[in-house]
Each structure stands twice: as structure tokens, then as C-alpha cells.
Amino acid sequence: MTDMTADENHILRAEKITMRFGGFTALNNVSVAFPEGQLTAIIGPNGAGKSTFFNVISGAFPPSEGRIVFRGREITGTPQHRFTRLGIAKSFQITNVFPQLTALENVRFAIQCMSQRFNIWTPRNRYRVMEEQAAHLLEMVELHQHHHRLAMNLAHGEQRALEIALALACDPSLLLLDEPTAGMSPEETIVMMDLIIRLAGERTVILVEHKMKLVMGISNHLIVLHHGELLAEGTPDEVRANDEVRRVYLGQGEH
Amino acid sequence: MTLANPQEELKGSGRRLAGVVALMARHRVLAVLGFLLVFPFLLPYEALAVNILIYGLFALGFNLVFGYMGVLSFGHAAFFGLGSYATGIVIVHYGMHWFPAILVGAVAAGLGAAVIGALAIRTRGIYFAMVTLALSQCVYYLVYQLEDLSGGENGLRGVDVYDLGLPGLELTLLDPLTKYYFVFVFVALAVWLFSRILASPFGAVLEALRENEDRARACGTNVALSKWLAFVISGLFCGLAGSLNAIHLTIVPIESLHYHTSGLAVMMSLLGGMGTFFGPFVGALTFLVLEDVITLVTVHWQLFVGALFVFFILFLPRGIWGSFLRWASR
């Protein structure tokens, strides 16, 4: 299913990433390539370095060593705000929306960021297109009934969906999701997983997930981190058959 | 069942009030200007009305970064003072006409904000407040030392603009009502501009930065540059207020630059309601009228204003206008 040899098939490459915090090495020489148009899940037990790895590839902070290459272009150290214009968007592990703006205003702002950053003159309600786009995105994440509700008054699952809509506002070719189902009820988790599968049909998705079971069925490609190192990668079947992975996960009481 | 009717009625009147508030919000510029137009006739003397107009504008400009963007600056006296001194200096030393002199004042304050903003914008929270405070004190001492230009401790005297020299109009600022409407014209223009900026896409950036800076950055906002731009715009408005004050007082007191003046902007914004359109003028009105009334009774007026300030912080943190809005839309 995946072709790991040809480089043009990889949208993002992380080369020899090492991340140190003081004396602690959170990531040690991790090299991973992410196949284009596929859903890749980064998994691993607690403290494996998943979130650190996510933050490095999403540009929250530069790695201590190593390079990040997006579509053949090095983006290591590129400021965070440029990522959306490259076509890379992310959602945060902890719900991160604009609480006192309505759902529609939230998404409209994210859309506006792509074209009208320093316009201090034109009234914003003159941009009908932005509003229509925002409405369209809200429909995509099934929040079309909540246009005018403040984000803070939405349910947890709805807020997470709203955050996905914010990420989609730049029409990213690469969508990075950090534990998109964290803190969700089983019902909300199912809805979110459906949404992620739909999104993955149109773009490359990389997601970090703690629960291995959850991503086994939907991912094309899996990356397993353990103690800051790359433990295994491959298709779900390959990873499931990997002895090392079984040992690590069974040791954690999860399978 | 018998209770249902009065409740309905209550709801009805609440809805009417909410309707009025919504109407005012939609036509916020007209609402402010309509009030300010008749305002001098509601006060015992015009000079107080002019003060309220000028400090209202100052608080309005300050509110852009404080209320709308959620960043507390403690150095806005620098912009008020720079506007005052620049206007005063070009009038006194270079005999410039009042109109370009006012523009020079606003631009000088804008430049000051560009420099102070560039140095301070990367710090957050209390550090930002402290850096802006320190830098504004630098401006204070710099102007204090430039005695030949600024008049030093005595302030700059002789900013005498009496005859406006408008063709076909015999207008003199010696007439207090004329002076009020002279200042009003500039404030009106500024209020309209301010509303326009708030309604623009950049206005949405300010709100987003206040709500969630990290998310705004992830959406593609250049946070540092946006904050800096907001700071400069804020400086321009505060500078204009300072310029008008120089012409109003005919002198520029050195206290214009003192951190005391920065504190005034904070107090007025909080009293009126931070992040509301009418708040700054309501705050300036409350503060200055109270000062005026209480000084008739005692010289320790600051004690009372201080107590009132504490009361507001503790019980009405949304300020007068902010609390009213909440009450009207309950």
C-alpha cells in the first residue's frame, strides 16, 4: 500500500531529529518520512516523545539537531505563522479556540488570516466570500447549527471539531492533529474518527494518538516511538506483527 | 399563572432595552458623536467638557491595545506627551499653523510608539507593562533635559492658537464653545476612524490576539508585527489627544509625560469598561466630573477616586458601560 522508496511520494521528511531539554533527551536521532495523501499515525506509550515530535514537525519549536523538509524544501526554524501559507495546519492537544468569539467568527478569522492580515480599512462584513467559506467549513465538521454560539459554550467534542475547522481554513495539503480525541466520550470519539477518515480522503493527515487500537483501523501508515526513539514503522499489519511493539504495548497493558 | 404576565412584561422591556443597545452598537459612531454634540450644554462649564473630550480620546486610543487586544501598557503617557510637545514645539518655536502642527503631534507620537513598541512587544504581561513604563519615563527625562526646546520643568508655554484663520469664518478659541467644537471635529474624525479599524479584518486580529495568541499564531497571524501595528495606531490616537490638549491648555505641562498620565488612561478605561466602544468616554466623564465635584468639598479628592476605583475592580470589573451592556443583554 505504501511506497517508501521514491522520495517524491513523501510530503514531509524529518531527518535525524534530536530534541534536548536541558540534560533530558526527548527525541534521539529520529528519521521518518511521511507518505503523501495518506493517513499516518504516530503512536507510542506515555513519555515516548510523541508530543515533542509533533511540536517539532509542526514548527512550535525548532529541533536541537536535524532538519524538517516539506515538499523538498527545508522548513526547520520557519516561524509558526508561515506554516499555514505553506499549506500545513495543526490542531492542538488541548482544545484551542477563541472562546469569546462565535463559531462563525472563529472560522472566519482563520480564513481571513490567509489574505487580509493587515487590512485596517475595509469593513470585514464586506467579505461575503469569507463568511460563506466559514459556513461551509462549519458544515463540514457538522457545526452548521451553531454559527452564532460562542465557542466557550460549545460541548467539548464540538470545540474540538471547531478547532479542526480552524485548521482547515487554510485548505492545508498537510493536516497535523495532536490527539484529536483526547478527553472525548466514546460517542464523540466515533464522530471525530469519521471526520478524520473523511478529511484523509482529500489530504495528507498526520495524527498523534495514545490509543493504538483507535488508529489501527484507519491509518495507512504507523510510526511507533518509544523512549524518544523510532521503534518501528510500517503498515498497521506490519506494526502489529512487530515483537518489539508488542512487548512495549503489552508492558503498558494495552494491545 | 398570575406571575406569567409581569414576567412577560419584564422580558418585553428587557428586549426593548437590548434593542436600543443593539441599535447603538450598530451606529456606534453616530451614538457617540450625537451625545458629544450636545454634551457641553449638560455640564456647568465648557472647559470641563473639553477635558473630557480630550481624555476620552486618549482613553479610546489606549483601549485599542488594552481592551481590544488585551495588552496592558503603562507607558501611554509618552504618546500623549509626545503629541503635546511636538505640536507645542512646532507652534512656539517654528510658528507653524495649527493644522499641520496637530498632524505633526500625532505623527511624532506614532513614531514614539513605533520605537517603544518595537522594544517592548516581545515581552508579555507584567513585563510588557514594566518595559513600557520604563521607556516612557526615559522619554519624560529626555524632554525634561531638553530645556531650550521643551521649557523643562516649567513646561512649554505660549502655545497660543486663538484665531483659527479659517477663510470666511471668524472663529476664535477664546470662546469656550467654539473651542469645544474645534476639538470635537478632530475627536469625531478619530472616533470614526477608530470604529472603522475595529470593523476591519485587523480588528478581528486584535480580538483573536486577546482571546488566544497561540491559536492566532497557528492560524497564520504574525503576532509580533500585528501587536506592533496596533501599538503604533494606538500611539497615533493618543498623540492626537495630546496635540489637542496643548492647544486647549495653551501650555504643555511636563506632567503630560509623567506616568501619572499613563495611570489615568488605565483608570478611565477600567471605570468606563475596557474593550467597549463607549467605555473610554464614559470613564473619562466619570473620572473628571468626580474630580471636579469632589475638589469643591475636599482637596483629598484622589482618596475618593481611589476608593471608587477599588470598588469597581472588586465588584464591577467590566466597568460602567460594560456592566450596563451585560445588564441590558441579560
Let me know if residue A188 belongs to a domain: no
Would the CB atoms of A98 and B208 count as touching at under 8 Å? yes
Give chain B's domain count: 1
- Judged against a pLDDT cut of 50, whether residue A51 lies above it is answered with yes
Give chain A's domain count: 2
Residue A252's pLDDT band, with cuts at 50, 70 and 90, is low
Taking the C-alpha atoms of residue A152 and residue A99, their distance in angstroms, rounded to an integer, is 4
List, for residues A113-158, the tens digit of each pLDDT value.
998 878 999 998 889 999 999 999 999 999 999 999 999 999 999 9
Alpha-carbon separation of residue B119 from A242, A247, B127 (angstroms): 54, 54, 12
CA-based nearest residue in chain B for residue A110: B219
Same domain, A119 and A156: yes
Alpha-carbon separation of residue B14 from B6, B68, B276, B329 (angstroms): 12, 27, 20, 8
Same domain, A77 and A126: no
Same domain, A68 and A120: no
C-alpha cell at B284: 473619562
Would the CB atoms of B204 and A169 count as touching at under 8 Å? no
- Show residues of chain B in contact with A123, CB under 8 Å: 196, 199-200
Give the percent of chain A with pLDDT over 90: 78
Would the CB atoms of B197 and A120 count as touching at under 8 Å? yes
Candidate from B200, B214, B223 with C-beta closest to A123: B200
Would the CB atoms of B207 and A118 count as touching at under 8 Å? no
pLDDT score recorded for residue B12: 58
Q: Select the residue from B215, B227, B233, B274 to test the A interface by mutation, using most A Cβ atoms within 10 A.
A: B215
Same domain, A81 and A92: no
pLDDT score recorded for residue A251: 64
Let me know if residue A178 belongs to a domain: no
Same domain, A78 and A107: no
Nearest to A179 by CA among A5, A19, A23, A48: A48
- Judged against a pLDDT cut of 90, whether residue A47 lies above it is answered with no
Distance from CA of B311 to the nearest CA of A (A): 26
ipTM of predicted assembly, 2 dp: 0.91
- Judged against a pLDDT cut of 70, whether residue A254 lies above it is answered with no
CATH number at residue B224: 1.10.3470
Candidate from B202, B203, B221 with C-beta closest to A81: B221
Same domain, A26 and A79: yes
Let me know if residue A186 belongs to a domain: no
Q: Select the residue from B29, B219, B326 to test the A interface by mutation, using most A Cβ atoms within 10 A.
A: B219
Taking the C-alpha atoms of residue A151 and residue A163, their distance in angstroms, rounded to an integer, is 10
CA-based nearest residue in chain B for residue A107: B219
Q: Is A94 touching B (CB cutoff 8 A)?
A: no
Domain that residue A116 falls in: 88-171
Let me know if residue B48 belongs to a domain: yes
Q: What is the pTM for the complete model shown?
A: 0.92
Let me know if residue A37 belongs to a domain: yes
Let me know if residue A228 belongs to a domain: yes
How many CB atoms neighbour CB B4 within 10 A? 8
Let me know if residue B5 belongs to a domain: no
pLDDT score recorded for residue B87: 98
Same domain, A59 and A98: no
Q: Is B202 touching A (CB cutoff 8 A)?
A: yes
Would the CB atoms of A166 and B215 count as touching at under 8 Å? yes
Let me know if residue A181 belongs to a domain: no
Same domain, A127 and A50: no
Candidate from B214, B219, B225 with C-beta closest to A169: B219
Terminal alpha carbon distance of chain B: 23
CATH number at residue A158: 3.40.50.300
The residues, ordered by sequence, that sit 6+ positions from B15 with a Cβ below 8 Å of its Cβ are none
Average pLDDT of adjacent 10-residue blocks, chain B of 330 residues: 44 74 90 92 90 97 96 97 98 95 98 97 93 97 95 93 82 90 96 96 96 95 96 98 97 96 96 94 95 89 88 92 87
Same domain, A17 and A38: yes
A83-108 mean pLDDT: 94
Same domain, A94 and A157: yes
pLDDT score recorded for residue B1: 37
A73-86 mean pLDDT: 94
Residue B115 DSSP SS3 = helix
CB contact at 8 A, B300 and B253? no
Of the three residues A123, A152, A171, the one that is the final residue of a domain is: A171
Domain that residue B53 falls in: 26-328
Same domain, A64 and A24: yes
Let me know if residue A196 belongs to a domain: no
CB contact at 8 A, A90 and A178? yes
Distance from CA of B61 to the nearest CA of A (A): 15
Distance from CA of B233 to the nearest CA of A (A): 10
Let me know if residue A43 belongs to a domain: yes
Q: Is A81 touching B (CB cutoff 8 A)?
A: yes
